[in-house]
Amino acid sequence: MENQIQNKNIKTYSILSYIGILWIIGLFVKEKNDKTLKFHVGQGMLLSVLGVVGRVAIRIISSIIVNVGELVFGNSILFFLISIMIIILSLAFSVSILVLMIIGIVNASNNKEEALPVVGKYAFYK
């Protein structure tokens, strides 16, 4: 009975690992040394760091492009198109992070230890 509860807890903590910074819960629970939980915490940690770094990078790049573009192109249609492309890039990045979160949650709920596509092999906590 206790083993079933522990397995359920590990599954719950593994799922939570993919939701923002909630991976931190998995670092402090009683089951923190479980191999499966460590795997999912590592994947969630990577996803959080990637999300923050990516958003900051997009914000910096878009700020530079917008400021330089405004000086070079003024209020032309080209400047407007560049602005739209930046918005699309930001949206695509956010959707990509969301898709990776969903993949991770599905893997955790199915008790699979599969690395996230493209980025999962770079997990630094194992």
Q: What is the pLDDT of residues 33-86, one digit of tens each?
A: 888 899 999 999 999 999 999 999 999 988 888 777 777 766 777 777 888 888
Question: Phi/psi of residue 35, each to 5°?
Answer: -60, -45
pLDDT at 2 over 70: no
Cβ(14)–Cβ(26) under 8 Å? yes
Query: What whole-number distance in Å separates Cα of residue 119 and Cα of residue 108?
Result: 17
> Over pLDDT 90: what percentage of the chain?
46
